[in-house]
Amino acid sequence: MLKQFQQLKLQQKLSPQQIQLMKMIQLPVQELEQRIKQEIEENPALQEGSEPEIRDTYDDLQDDDSSDFIEADDINIDAYLTDDDTPDYKYNANNYSDDDDEPRFQHAVSGTFHEGLLDQLHVTPASGNMRTLAEYLIGAMDDDGYIRRELRNIVDDLAFTRNIITNEEELEEALKLVQSLDPAGIGARDLQECLWLQLDRKPVNAAVQDAMLILEEAFEAFTKKHFSKIQRKLGLSESSLARAIDQITHLNPKPGGSTDRTTVQTSAVVPDFVVTIENGEPQLMLNSRNAPDLNINRGYRDMLEDFNKRRKEANRAEKEAVLFVKQKLDSAKWFIDAIKQRQETLYLTMSAITTRQKEFFVTGDERYLNPMILKDVADDIQMDISTVSRVANSKFVQTPYGTLPLKFFFSESMKNDQGEDVSTRKIKSILEELVEKEDKRHPITDEKLGQMLKERGFPIARRTVAKYREQLNIPVARLRKSL
């Protein structure tokens, strides 16, 4: 039976403006600029311009009508008719780095690897049909340079998608054509074939011949570094085996990722923060591009003033126009306030990180990184953890020791033998150091690494050592062994 009744309920909901603010906080500098550009295009009341000259008195601001722009906070958003002082955040220039000194760091983001192969293919003397098959194989290649699919499946694909009738023998011939392109090893179907193709292009000598024999006859033992088994099976001396292994280990297992022979496009990563060291103290600055000069078009205020003077005579069309202007001014005022909140939140968050990681910023030594999680920073600045997470996402800081992502400074803690909290990053740094200095003929096992860390005051279990080693992409002891 259906009944009607009233119920009171307390709920917390984010307004659309708050949701947009959270999204803006998450944006790095370059994406913020795109967001501002989009807002300016959509809102004619908002525009970007040079900052007005700062005056000594309020009367000076009132008397000067020569500027084409008016600050957003100069307009009372309720009446839109009275002036106010220049917004406070426009005076905080000491927190921003100079545009002239703004650093840009080039990072490879994408390449024209497949296009480079096609360019090579087009200058080969291959027939039209063979070139068509080779083009399809290049298109089926992954970013590492491998063709993972079975040739018989590719034959079926060509028949159904391109209406090209061929067979495995023809496709194998086209594959050999692709494998003749640079870099060596391209178009292989597995790692064994990839390494063999590279060795096949090397000048023939005893070491290369032994290396090819290892790949053909003892590849599984090679991948597991069972060197004694290889020696017994192939009858190689220790010195011959060492020279052959040296040939193989200098090959490229991912020829598609090679950048020395392919054109690579780059894009600049612009740091959101800059930390410098002055008199032994870290000094934090926001990238000045986090504080753009946004203003409200003076013409929109003039329209409201004109309407206010003849409000009684205004017709319906004029009233609708004023409602449109009010909506755009509201939106522009909110957007500039959101930019202000964004930069204040960024500065507070990074300031807390700088304070907690002061020793690292002064020394540049990862071992001085203190354990820190998102909640620590959130408690310091009295904001929600989700806000700190958004700030830390996709943001970079320029330090005297390089440009680092903000996530670099966060790590869990672990107690040492004295009961003190230490960063797991510090333990990982020591672990890397131990592995780097080990005798590669007799690499250190996880159990022994755990004992060595315990001797240094970090009592951790063997399985924890294994976890940290995997996070550092360090293989097990057996796979680190070399002759």
Higher pLDDT, 440 or 403: 403
pLDDT at position 163 is 87
Q: How confident is the model at residue 352 (pLDDT cuts 50, 70, 90)?
A: very high
What was the pLDDT predicted at 199?
Answer: 93
Report, as an integer, the average pLDDT of 43-49. Answer: 79
- Judged against a pLDDT cut of 60, whether residue 382 lies above it is answered with yes
Taking Cα atoms as reference points, which of 361, 360, 214, 343 lies closest to residue 290? Answer: 343
Task: Look at 479 and 335; give whichever has higher pLDDT.
Answer: 335
Give the residues across from 267 on adjacent strands.
107
Q: Encode pLDDT of 56-82 as tens digits.
A: 323 332 344 433 444 444 444 344 433
Residue 241 or residue 291, greater confidence: 241
pLDDT score of 355 more than 90: yes
Per-residue pLDDT at 268 exceeds 70 = no
**What pLDDT score does 458 carry?**
82
Nearest 10 degrees: Cα torsion 454, 458, 460, 466: -90
**Residue 287 near residue 228, CB atoms below 8 Å:** no
Q: What angle do CA 479, 432, 192 make, to 5 degrees?
A: 25
Confidence of residue 17 (pLDDT cuts 50, 70, 90): low
Q: Determine the 3-state secondary structure of 116 from DSSP.
A: helix
Residues paired with 294 in a beta bridge: 48
pLDDT greater at residue 96 or residue 15: 15
Quick count: other Cβ atoms within 10 Å of Cβ 363? 12
Average of per-residue pLDDT values in the chain: 78
* CB under 8 A, 24+ apart: contacts of 53-57: 54/86, 54/90, 54/91
Rounded to the nearest 10 degrees, the angle between the axes of helix 385-392 and helix 316-356 is 90
Q: Give the model's pLDDT for residue 277.
A: 92
Q: Quick one: average pLDDT of 288-308?
A: 74
The torsion angles phi and psi of 133, rounded to 5 degrees, stand at -65, -40
Whether the Cβ atoms of residue 435 and residue 476 lie closer than 8 Å to each other: no
pLDDT at 377 over 70: yes
> Cα(380)–Cα(391) distance, rounded to whole angstroms?
14
* pLDDT band of 427, cuts 50, 70, 90: confident
Q: Kindly indicate the confidence band of residue 196, based on its pLDDT and cuts at 50, 70 and 90.
A: very high
Residue 343 clears pLDDT 70, i.e. is over it: yes
Give the residue from 51, 68, 63 showing the smallest Cα distance to 300.
68
Question: Rounded mean pLDDT of 140-149?
Answer: 88
Distance CA 172, CA 151 (A): 8
Q: What is the pLDDT of residue 316?
A: 77
- Tell me which of 267 and 296 has the higher pLDDT: 296
Q: For residue 402, what are the contacts with CB-CB under 8 A and spacing of at least 6?
A: none
The dihedral built from the CA positions of residue 168, 172, 173 and 177, taken in this order, carries a sign that is positive
Q: Does domain 411-480 have CATH number 2.50.20.10?
A: no
Return the higher-pLDDT residue of 56 and 455.
455
Q: Across residues 264-292, what is the average pLDDT?
A: 78
Measure CA 239 to chain center: 44
Confidence (pLDDT) at 320 = 79
Spell out the domain ranges in the chain: 16-85+284-399, 110-257, 411-480
For the chain, report the end-to-end CA distance as a whole number of angstroms.
Answer: 83
The mean per-residue pLDDT over the stretch 190-205 comes to 92
Find the range with the poorest average confidence among 178-182, 210-214, 345-349, 366-370.
366-370
Label residue 258 by pLDDT band (50, 70, 90): low
- So what's the pLDDT on residue 212? 92
Mean pLDDT (whole number) for 376-384: 91
pLDDT at 354 over 90: yes
Query: Which position has the higher pLDDT, 1 or 31?
Result: 31
8 Å CB contact between 407 and 373: no
**Other CB atoms within 10 Å distance of the CB of residue 265:** 9
CA dist list (Å): 35 to 24, 26, 27, 45, 328:
8, 12, 9, 16, 17
Is omega for the bond preceding 125 within 30 degrees of 0, making it cis? no
State residue 72's pLDDT score.
41
Strand 105-111 and strand 396-399: the pairing is unpaired
Strands (E), 148-272: 264-269
- Most confident range (mean pLDDT) of 14-18, 27-31, 91-95, 114-118 is 114-118
> Other C-beta atoms within 10 Å of 159: how many?
12
Task: Report the share of the chain in percent with pLDDT over 90.
Answer: 17
- The SS3 assignment for 340 reads helix
| Predicted local confidence at residue 11, as pLDDT | 64
